[in-house]
Amino acid sequence: MFIHKIDKEVSLKILESKDAKAIFKLTNHSRNYLREWLPWLDRTTKIEDTQAYIQHCLNGFSGNTSMTTVILYKGEIAGIAGYNQLNWANKTAYIGYWLGEEFQGRGVMTKVAKALTEYAFNELQLNKVEIRVAVKNKKSRGIPERLGYVNEGCLRQAEWLYDHYVDHIVYGMLAAEWKQEER
């Protein structure tokens, strides 16, 4: 089992089938909060939906096309983060993440995004990492901005969110840029 310890409070662990109950419980507890920016909440209404999601993620991991982890905060599942897609032809990873409402405001996701960025460059030897965020999602936009990602532009109407489209900002970091910075 893959566990990546970030610091004394935060770790990443490869998603496992046995995590379904805890992830579904966290999703349910944070449903209204998460629904503002995540389009899949209405399709996740029972534990079987979470189990199917985990199986999809495990298939991506075994096929080397994605890597999804649970975020552990003080040993408790706090959210999900990882590479929604690994594009080996272009040596690019696309980071996605969400955090339960009660774990917000502690710097957890910034630590996680930094660790995933470092892992992509140092371990996977990728050239670029992207994070795409809804334009009006200020909290989520702060993460790549704090880490020095470059705002590469806006994708208009990039995502259907229940009853409307939202634009996305594409943030990018190149391996050479990451290595130049003192981190």
Taking only the tens place, the pLDDT of each residue in 43-86 is 999 999 999 999 999 999 999 999 999 999 999 999 999 999 99
Give the pLDDT band of residue 99 (cuts 50, 70, 90).
Answer: very high
Q: Which of 39-43, 99-103, 154-158 has the lowest mean pLDDT?
A: 39-43
Average pLDDT over residues 94-113: 96
Q: What is the pLDDT of residue 3?
A: 81
**Which domains occur in the chain, in start order?**
3-130 (3.40.630.30)
Mean pLDDT over 156-162 rounds to: 95
Strand partners, 181: none
Look at residue 180 in the predicted model and tell me its pLDDT: 78
Write down the pLDDT at residue 182.
53
CA 112, CA 11: separation in Å to the nearest integer?
A: 8
pLDDT at 45: 93
Which residue has tokens 């503002």? 36
pLDDT more than 90, % of the chain:
92
Query: What pLDDT, on a 0 to 100 scale, did the predictor assign at position 4?
Result: 87
The pLDDT, as a whole number, for residue 179 is: 83
- pLDDT surpassing 70 at residue 1: no
In whole angstroms, give the CA distance from residue 141 to residue 134.
8
